[in-house]
Amino acid sequence: MSKQLDYHTIRAIFERFQEARPHPEGELEHVNVYTLVVAVALSAQATDAGVNRATRALFQIADTPQKMLDLGLEGLTEHIKSIGLYRQKAKNVIRMSQILVDEYDGQVPNSRAALQSLPGVGRKTANVVLNMWWNMPAQAVDTHIFRVGNRTGICPGKDVVAVERALEDHVPADFQHHAHHWLILHGRYHCKARKPMCPTCLIRDLCPYEDKTT
Catalytic residue numbers? Answer: 124, 142
**Crossing angle between the packed helical segments 176-189 and 123-134, to the nearest 10 degrees:** 120
- Measured CA to CA, the distance from residue 126 to residue 138 in angstroms comes to 9
* Single-letter amino acid code for the residue at 80: I
- Measured CA to CA, the distance from residue 186 to residue 181 in angstroms comes to 8
**Cα–Cα distance list, 188 to 48, 124, 177, 193, 208 (Å):** 11, 17, 19, 9, 19
Q: What are phi and psi of 77, to 5 degrees?
A: -60, -40
